[in-house]
Amino acid sequence: MAFVAAAAGWLLRLRAAGAEGHWRRFHGVGLARGFLHPSATVEDAAQRRQVAHFTFQPDPEPREYGQTQKMNLFQSITSALDNSLAKDPTAVIFGEDVAFGGVFRCTVGLRDKYGKDRVFNTPLCEQGIVGFGIGIAVTGATAIAEIQFADYIFPAFDQIVNEAAKYRYRSGDLFNCGSLTIRSPWGCVGHGALYHSQSPEAFFAHCPGIKVVIPRSPFQAKGLLLSCIEDKNPCIFFEPKILYRAAAEQVPIEPYNIPLSQAEVIQEGSDVTLVAWGTQVHVIREVASMAKEKLGVSCEVIDLRTIIPWDVDTVCKNADPFSLGLYPTGKMKEETNNLY
């Protein structure tokens, strides 16, 4: 109900904005405003459950990248890291507890396969981890740093924003730390509370010089992570931790790339554009089908994938500037009516 309400809210705002075209249809629908408001949401326990509900929707098996295997999100990450370390002899993985496989099992088996000089633990010092990673990257090696939870990224915020993001610019392209990728589990999981649930992409979304990427599924994750690692700019890759086990689909075994700064139109539509990333994409897909079923609204669903620099063209292609809905994931919800 909350999702229908969210989508429906858009319709009401669009009417108010006086947008032309398709909207005229809805003037005559005659739905009472109250119909669309979830009046009992706060009290009803079932409503409360729904606010945290989503169903992972796997994508169809990809055919163009060779043999595939069923993998969940953490296995697809391991596969991507495995491919990277195999291809690039300078690649190293480091972070807290990565040696035994990581607290989410993303690095299982890599230390045995590639050696303890390529997969190693760091002490408990996020600022040190990222600063150290920048240093490795500046010398030309590929640094893949792990921050154990996105909630702990803040001691490293200065290093990311002031050092990593500006290195190429301030040295006039003499130096850069483009081969740095920071991976971090991200987003709410139900029992994480204050410090194991945060979605901090917005803090980084206004910092030129870095790229922030959030996948929605195992297939997307592997391709996007490989692109981040190979990208010549420092990247932050947030992995929705609730999907580590919950999301499983067919993922190619061989390496492949999904381009950065390209949003994906998951479902075409003609009335409303819904934009989301990470876990919320699956919520929005349900919203879209509910809107179709209950309101006859045709929604376009876009997975933004790269938060900065984001794909303005795809998002704006079918939507005029007054009719855009942005649905950031996790705890924060923002709406904007204007694009710059």
Partner 1 sequence: TREVEVAVSRDCATALQPGRVLVASRNFANDATFEIKKCDLHRLEEGPPVTTVLTREDGLKYYRMMQTVRRMELKADQLYKQKIIRGFCHLCDGQEACCVGLEAGINPTDHLITAYRAHGFTFTRGLSVREILAELTGRKGGCAKGKGGSMHMYAKNFYGGNGIVGAQVPLGAGIALACKYNGKDEVCLTLYGDGAANQGQIFEAYNMAALWKLPCIFICENNRYGMGTSVERAAASTDYYKRGDFIPGLRVDGMDILCVREATKFAAAYCRSGKGPILMELQTYRYHGHSMSDPGVSYRTREEIQEVRSKSDPIMLLKDRMVNSNLASVEELKEIDVEVRKEIEDAAQFATADPEPPLEELGYHIYSSDPPFEVRGANQWIKFKSVS
Nearer to partner 1, 323 or 329 (CB): 329
CA-to-CA separations, 29 to 25, 33, 285, 299, 324, in angstroms, rounded: 7, 11, 24, 18, 22
Active-site residue, selected from the candidate residues 126, 163, 239, 249: 126
d(CA 235, CA 221): 14
Binds partner 1 (CB under 8 A): choice among 17, 31, 86, 124? 124
d(CA 154, CA 134): 16
Nearer to partner 1, 2 or 108 (CB): 2
Of residues 152 through 171, those in contact with partner 1 by CB under 8 A are 152, 155
Q: Is 180 helix (H, G, I), strand (E, B) or coil?
A: strand
Q: How far is the CB of 336 from partner 1 (least distance, A)?
A: 14
Binds partner 1 (CB under 8 A): choice among 125, 312, 316, 339? 125
Return the number of other C-beta atoms located less than 10 Å from residue 324's C-beta: 20
The answer to whether residue 196 is catalytic is yes
Q: How far is the CB of 179 from partner 1 (least distance, A)?
A: 24
* Nearest partner of 301 among 270, 262, 331, judged by Cα: 270
Q: Is 16 helix (H, G, I), strand (E, B) or coil?
A: helix
**Going residue by residue from 314 to 333, which x/- string records binding to partner 1, judged by CB under 8 A?**
-------------------x
Q: Does 97 bind partner 1 (CB under 8 A)?
A: yes
The answer to whether residue 268 is catalytic is no
Q: Which stretch binds partner 1 (CB under 8 A): 105-113, 147-155, 238-246, 303-311?
A: 147-155
Alpha-carbon radius of gyration of the chain:
21
Q: What is the DSSP string of 313-337?
A: HHHHHSS-TTSEEE---TT-----S
HSE-up (13 A, CA, CB side) for residue 128: 8
Nearer to partner 1, 6 or 177 (CB): 6
Residue 205 phi, psi (nearest 5): -70, -10
Interface residues with partner 1 (CB under 8 A)? 2, 5-6, 9, 37-38, 41-43, 48, 51, 96-97, 100, 121, 123-125, 127-128, 151-152, 155, 191-196, 333
Catalytic site positions = 126, 196
